[in-house]
Amino acid sequence: MASNASAHGLPAPFELRGVVRRTVTGGLGGTTGHHALPLHRGSMPFPPHVAGGNRAAMGATQGFESSGIRRRGATGGAGESGAIGGGGGVDSALRMEKPDAKPQSTFWRLWSEAKHERGHLAAAGVCLMASSSANLMAPAIMAKVIDRASKRGSGSGSSSSLEMCIAGRPVSDRTFFLACLGVFAAGSLASWGRVYALAMATAGVAEKLRARLFAALMVQEKAFFDEKKAGELAPILAEDVDVSSTVFTERMASVLRSLNSSINASIALLSISPHLTMVSLSTVPIVGSVAMLYYKHVRKLSMRLRDMDSEAQAFAQARLANVRTVRAFANETLEAQRFRQMLEEASELRAGEAGAKGFFRGGLFGMVGVSLMAVLWVGGSHVGDGSMTAGQLTSFAGYTGWVGLGFSGLATGNANIARGLASAERVFALVDRTPAVSGDEGLEPSADVVGDLEFRDVWFQYPTRDKAVLQGVNLQLSPGKVLALTGASGEGKSTLAALITRLYEPRQGCITLDGVDIATLNPSWLRRQIGVVDQEPVLFAGSIADNIRYGVPLATDKQVEAAARQANAHDFIMDFPEAYQTKVGDEGRQLSGGQKQRVAIARAVLKNPPILILDEATSALDAESERLVSEAIDRVVASRTVLVIAHRQSTVNKADSVAVLQGGTVAEQGTFRDLMAKSGSQLASLMDGSRTV
């Protein structure tokens, strides 16, 4: 068995105290692997990369049932390239592919989001029809008033009554005007209902879409956020979602209202005079053709503008967040000029959009004016020969205006929909993005974690770099022991720590936890077993207590205080007037570096993880803060597997063992005393170069 393992570059099998070794078959072309943790089935299918590539090294494929370990749908072995260090890579082995599906247009994707607000949309539709109908009655009412008034003035009709616009029988003036007021009141009430229902529908769509987008962003891999700036994502989460949510609510309602006005006004025109209608609508084909070109042009401009606005916002956010650095280099004027240049470039594009809008609307106004002038000219002759009354001509002119306004509204509404669809494409591009590592899939061991971590021929290269940062790293962290990792800057120490939590994935090789390849484990479960304290800990705006219990939201106040005491944080917290309810400010700016570090340690302690990673936790502190933090670290490392990334001798010499990372690999590993006494020691060389290691 050992020879088989060695043939594939694996160390001989080892036993863990109190852990039953299980033999798993069907791994590396008939070789065997070992699992120290009993595993249980999760809620999602087993990751496909387990079935092949370098991730099959631990044999987490066929044969689970025979060993008493349940699997999650994995089949097959490693095949020809299953050995550790073989081909594959992150793209082929780790990306969770979804079945091919016929792509759905952005328009219908938005409808699928909006249809959940069908109640509000239906109410808005009813109110829209009612308000549009009331508005369209205005020209007809005006015609009846003019005709009756002209008859009364000439003495040819009764002075005590007017003709009602709908019923063809005389009614009293009072009844007629009350009916007109009723129509206008109903129209106003319907308009209010439409606006309210659409606002509620828009808010509902935006809420659901924004929640989906945020959830999608939260599961993306670290490499995604290395490429995308927070300033680029924030506008999509805010403005783009808001604009997208109006497509099937306010924007579509505007289009439908304009369409309804155009159709009904055209019908009214035909009922008054078919001949004049042909004159009035003669410009429609030209307007329609120009409107389509305008729609396409605006959509392209909108997408470019949204990208430029996002870049400008990201630029501003980065400079404001790091204003101390900007001022340290006296670059306030330079940065202001750069931002102004970005705004000017966007303004030039926005000027093009405004020019297109002005050209279209101006042309449309001119078309309506020409059409109206032709109507009045031809209609005037009809009034003169008695074939049309003055009221009918006035009504016809009013409906002609309604048709023009309708077409204008259609063009504007379509342009707004184009902007909404452009924003929606940006939103759905993120919503649909499949993370390289799914946080909901993988094995979840049912036994307690022992804490045996091992790197086996691990290679890693950042996508944006030409050279691998880690080149065949072999390293073991023993359970309950402290390993100090040191080396020159840029050697990949923090990268190695990030691989443990699966923020990144190795290009080759594997990392095992208690004998199980962590690539087969559920990432969320894995991260719950690990506590991390960085050199620059991140605190969220809120209270100190909120930040300490961030990993354990249901922790009691007593548990929070106990963790703070263990982290040497309780005393300084109680010095604040509001104690644990003290607000730390954005990114914890109300606290000093040492205070933030101790709060971060308390947060990790409360989580009570079996594995702890301390990434240069004391390197940026003054002597007193370092002493307090070091005391806290000495307390919390007991009975845990700890990886300490450090440059200071005071930290390194306390570790059970020390590993020196150089040239992308572990140059040497041993106790601090042994390495310092070794001839040609890399550790000794580092210390000779800097006594702060």
Is the pTM of the predicted complex or chain greater than 0.75? no
The answer on pLDDT for 72 being more than 70 is no
The answer on pLDDT for 229 being more than 50 is yes
- The mean predicted confidence, pLDDT, of the chain is 73
pLDDT confidence of residue 17: 33
Residue 615: strand pairing partners: 645
Closest CA to 191 of 135, 134, 131, 133: 131
Of 26-30, 355-359, 620-624, 637-641, the least confident = 26-30
- Over the stretch 650-687, which tens digit does the pLDDT of each residue have? 778 888 888 888 888 888 888 888 888 777 777 777 76
Query: What is the rounded average pLDDT of the residues 154-175?
Result: 52
Higher pLDDT, 494 or 21: 494
How does strand 453-460 pair with strand 530-533?
unpaired
pLDDT confidence of residue 620: 59
pLDDT confidence of residue 206: 84
pLDDT confidence of residue 32: 36
pLDDT confidence of residue 155: 52
Alpha-carbon span 464 to 10, nearest angstrom: 30
How does strand 453-460 pair with strand 611-615?
unpaired
- Using CA atoms, how far residue 453 sits from 55, 188, 423, 510, 666, in Å, is 16, 71, 45, 11, 15
Contact (Cβ atoms closer than 8 angstroms) between residue 632 and residue 612 = no
Domain(s) of CATH 1.20.1560.10: residues in the chain: 106-431
Contact (Cβ atoms closer than 8 angstroms) between residue 83 and residue 8 = yes
Instruction: Give the distance, in angstroms, between the CA of residue 640 and the centroid of all CA atoms in the same chain.
Output: 35
pLDDT confidence of residue 390: 76
pLDDT confidence of residue 268: 80
Q: Decide: helix, strand or coil at residue 348.
A: helix
- 410: confidence class by pLDDT, cuts 50, 70, 90: confident
- 187: confidence class by pLDDT, cuts 50, 70, 90: confident
- Over the stretch 604-660, which tens digit does the pLDDT of each residue have? 888 888 888 888 766 656 677 777 777 777 777 777 888 988 877 777 888 888 888
The answer on pLDDT for 358 being more than 50 is yes
- 74: confidence class by pLDDT, cuts 50, 70, 90: very low
Higher pLDDT, 579 or 358: 579
pLDDT confidence of residue 41: 37
The answer on pLDDT for 301 being more than 60 is yes
Higher pLDDT, 635 or 499: 499
Higher pLDDT, 445 or 160: 445
Higher pLDDT, 87 or 441: 441
Query: What is the rounded average pLDDT of the residues 79-108?
Result: 43
Phi then psi for residue 228, to 5 deg, are -100, 130
pLDDT confidence of residue 57: 37
Residue 642: strand pairing partners: 482, 612
Alpha-carbon span 509 to 458, nearest angstrom: 4
**Which alpha helices (DSSP H) does 471-556 contain, by range?**
493-500, 523-528, 544-548
The answer on pLDDT for 46 being more than 60 is no
Higher pLDDT, 128 or 279: 128
Higher pLDDT, 470 or 57: 470
376-380, 527-531, 679-683 — most confident range: 527-531
pLDDT confidence of residue 15: 34
CATH superfamily, region 106-431: ABC transporter type 1, transmembrane domain (1.20.1560.10)
45-54, 60-69, 383-392, 563-572 — most confident range: 563-572
- Using CA atoms, how far residue 47 sits from 39, 71, 95, in Å, is 15, 11, 9
Alpha-carbon span 559 to 679, nearest angstrom: 49
Higher pLDDT, 160 or 310: 310
- 2: confidence class by pLDDT, cuts 50, 70, 90: very low
Query: What is the rounded average pLDDT of the residues 110-124?
Result: 82
Place of tokens 């091919």: 100
Percent residues over pLDDT 70 in the chain? 75
- 154: confidence class by pLDDT, cuts 50, 70, 90: low
Query: What is the rounded average pLDDT of the residues 161-165?
Result: 44
The answer on pLDDT for 539 being more than 80 is yes
Query: What is the rounded average pLDDT of the residues 564-575?
Result: 87
- Using CA atoms, how far residue 296 sits from 106, 247, 342, 415, 427, in Å, is 15, 16, 25, 8, 20
pLDDT confidence of residue 305: 79
pLDDT confidence of residue 247: 81
- 22: confidence class by pLDDT, cuts 50, 70, 90: very low
pLDDT confidence of residue 235: 78
pLDDT confidence of residue 158: 45
pLDDT confidence of residue 677: 78
pLDDT confidence of residue 438: 67
Place of tokens 């009554």: 161
Alpha-carbon span 431 to 636, nearest angstrom: 40
- 149: confidence class by pLDDT, cuts 50, 70, 90: low
Contact (Cβ atoms closer than 8 angstroms) between residue 39 and residue 69 = yes
> What is the number of other CB atoms lying within 10 angstroms of the CB of residue 219?
16
Query: What is the rounded average pLDDT of the residues 310-332?
Result: 75
Of 129-133, 335-339, 438-442, 545-549, the least confident = 438-442
Element spanning 460, H or E:
strand 453-460
- 29: confidence class by pLDDT, cuts 50, 70, 90: very low
Alpha-carbon span 589 to 611, nearest angstrom: 28
Alpha-carbon span 143 to 271, nearest angstrom: 14
Closest CA to 244 of 421, 112, 111: 421
Query: What is the rounded average pLDDT of the residues 346-367?
Result: 74
55-69, 166-180, 557-571 — most confident range: 557-571
